[in-house]
Amino acid sequence: MLEFYTLREGGEAAELPAVTLEAFAGQSNATAVRIEPGEDARALLPHLDQVALVEVNFPVFGDGRGYSAARILREAGYTGELRAVGDVLVDQISHMVRCGFDSFAPDKPLDPALIEQAFTIFPNRYQKTVDPTVPIWALRHG
């Protein structure tokens, strides 16, 4: 069984069966979708109001295409749960959150203390993104 880590309010991760993006297109009652690397997250944009959970698969830690999928969905207004699954490492989580992920289901359990440390090790950010963190350049130049 996968262990879930969530940053969502209330601390509960959805336990919905996710269907593939291709299967989602043919179903009217699916509320959870899994995006694989190379699939276009924009295919979900017309259906964001019916999706409660989007899982984005990271089959290997070096495959960063899932970051783009998360950002596309969040910038389009998706407010449901966005979960990174697969080869998720603790040092990636703070970056994933900045792109819009709010829950994680890594292949291997992570130490909660290390997850917490990942959010505090670098208090300032340089890039503007979908999270509410104010970039350091904006703090310096108001």
Q: What is the pLDDT of residue 1?
A: 35
Segments of the chain assigned E as strands: 5-6, 19-20, 32-35, 53-58, 81-86, 103-106
For the record, the structure tokens of 25 come out as: 């297109």
Q: What is the pLDDT of residue 2?
A: 45
Residue range 102-120: mean pLDDT, rounded = 87
Of the candidates 85, 91, 89, the one whose C-alpha atom is nearest the C-alpha of residue 70 is 85
Q: Which CATH number is 88's domain given?
A: 3.40.50
Domain count for the chain: 1
Q: What is the pLDDT of residue 4?
A: 64
Domain that holds residue 126: 5-141
- CA 122 from chain centre, in angstroms, equals 20
Work out the mean pLDDT of the chain and round it to a whole number.
Answer: 86
The CA-CA-CA angle for residues 58, 12, 34, to 5°, reads 30
Of the candidates 73, 126, 53, the one whose C-alpha atom is nearest the C-alpha of residue 95 is 126
